């Protein structure tokens, strides 16, 4: 299947349709609703924007608490801190590096409003357990599925399981438009609020549908929609989502198969995908013994022209994290795994020959 992104871009320019919410935006919305099996989907200018919208939809207020992992990108916390809420950081599982569902309940207080599971590397959190806890305590669940487009949990698309789901289409993601995101909703009330919040707090969408004679300021909101050229480019990428996912999964499994011997010898630890979780090959990482060994291995890879990198610094150890958030219990797994992780090169068109160089270099470093 051909990549139509550039063709769609030319169409927007030719037809002088540059502002948001045009025909290509609507096609992106329809693709997401159909593929993710949700009643409402809106593309945004980033996953950060989608998370901020989620905070506004839920009327998150000063003093509210929101449970999340510390091992995540800053946007997960920022979206709620901007509303005056307190991020409550919970430790991660040692196997998936996802929010430890067994530690969530003890983090709940009378001030808790929501739980934000982050699907690390496109591998799902234990959503059945998290949703059960949320329902029992009357809490909302916002899925940070920034890395989870085209992943699923027991047959359900990530982003479609919680009350609200958020995606990223940043250039570092599997499906990209440079900068972009989306918010997924199942609740009609939330969908109506999202439409207004996304359009600067106005009912502009109703005006374009002919439902009101003029649009007016209805509530808090901001400019969360992307331009039509971004939507046009994104549509071309969404049309190839299955193809891109397949190629990334092939590369992921190639690494796994050829590095398993090192893992069997306990020289490294490989990623773990629980039963029932179908991931998207977003990232392939290995875990070293400790911080010192991790840094030495990264240096060795760089000397061999291989760009391997670490990932998140735990939010609870950051200046802003200590100022705005608090921890629930010890976060030993968060600290340990953030010190040990190395992300290996992986992109849609990586070749086996390129991967072979990475694999050979790892064997040279770890077995000689």
Both tokens assigned to 197: 């919040």
213 as an active site residue: the answer is no
- Determine how β-strand 341-343 pairs with β-strand 285-287: antiparallel
CB 197 within 8 A of CB 219: yes
CA distance 33 to 345: 31
Name the phi and psi angles at 202, rounded to 5.
Answer: -110, 165
Q: Which residues contact 260 (CB under 8 A, 6 or more apart)?
A: 270
Beta bridge partners of 150: none
Q: Packing angle between helix 332-340 and helix 291-303, nearest 10 degrees?
A: 20
Catalytic member of 27, 33, 173, 269: 173
Answer yes or no: are the C-beta atoms of 6 and 158 closer than 8 Å: no
CB 102 within 8 A of CB 125: no
Q: What are phi and psi of 283, to 5 degrees?
A: -150, 140
CA angle 155, 156, 158 (to 5 degrees): 130
**117 contacts 141 by C-beta, under 8 angstroms:** yes
Transcribe 309-328 into DSSP letters. Answer: B--PPPGGGSHHHHHH-EES
Q: What share of residues in the chain are helix, strand, coil (percent, to 5)?
A: 45, 15, 40
Write the burial class of residue 196 (CB in 10 Å: 0-12 exposed, 13-18 middle, 19+ buried): buried
Q: Is-contact 287 341, C-beta < 8 A?
A: yes
Active site residues per annotation = 173
């Amino acid at each position: 299947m051909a990549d139509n992104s550039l063709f769609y871009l030319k169409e927007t320019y030719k037809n002088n349709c540059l502002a948001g919410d045009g025909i290509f935006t609507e096609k992106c919305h329809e693709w997401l609703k159909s593929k993710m099996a949700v009643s409402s989907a809106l593309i945004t200018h980033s996953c950060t924007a989608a998370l901020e919208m989620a905070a506004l939809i839920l009327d998150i207020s000063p003093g509210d608490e929101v449970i999340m992992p510390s091992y995540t990108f800053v946007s997960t916390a920022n979206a709620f801190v901007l509303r005056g809420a307190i991020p409550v950081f919970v430790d991660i599982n040692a196997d998936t590096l996802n929010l430890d569902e067994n530690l969530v309940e003890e983090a709940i207080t009378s001030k808790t409003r929501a739980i934000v599971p982050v699907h690390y590397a496109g591998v799902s959190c234990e959503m059945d357990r998290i949703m059960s806890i949320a329902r029992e305590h009357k809490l909302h669940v916002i899925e940070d599925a920034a890395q989870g487009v085209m992943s699923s949990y027991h047959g359900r698309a990530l982003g479609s399981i919680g009350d609200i789901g958020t995606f990223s289409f940043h250039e570092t993601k599997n499906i990209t438009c440079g900068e972009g995101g989306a918010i997924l909703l199942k609740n009609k009330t939330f969908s109506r609020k999202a439409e207004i919040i996304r359009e600067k707090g106005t009912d502009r969408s109703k005006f374009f549908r002919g439902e009101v004679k003029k649009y007016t300021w209805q509530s808090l909101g901001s400019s969360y929609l992307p331009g039509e050229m971004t939507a046009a480019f994104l549509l071309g990428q969404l049309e190839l989502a299955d193809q891109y996912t397949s190629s990334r999964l092939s590369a992921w499994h190639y690494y796994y198969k050829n590095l398993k011997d090192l893992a069997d010898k306990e020289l490294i630890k490989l990623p773990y995908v629980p039963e029932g979780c179908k991931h998207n090959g977003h990232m392939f990482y290995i875990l070293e013994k400790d911080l010192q060994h991790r840094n030495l291995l990264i240096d060795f890879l760089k000397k061999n022209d291989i760009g391997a990198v670490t990932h998140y610094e735990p939010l609870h150890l950051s200046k802003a994290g200590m100022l705005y958030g608090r921890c629930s219990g010890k976060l030993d797994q968060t600290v340990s795994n953030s010190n040990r992780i190395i992300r290996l090169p992986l992109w849609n068109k990586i070749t086996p020959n390129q991967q072979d160089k990475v694999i050979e270099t790892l064997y040279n470093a770890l077995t000689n």
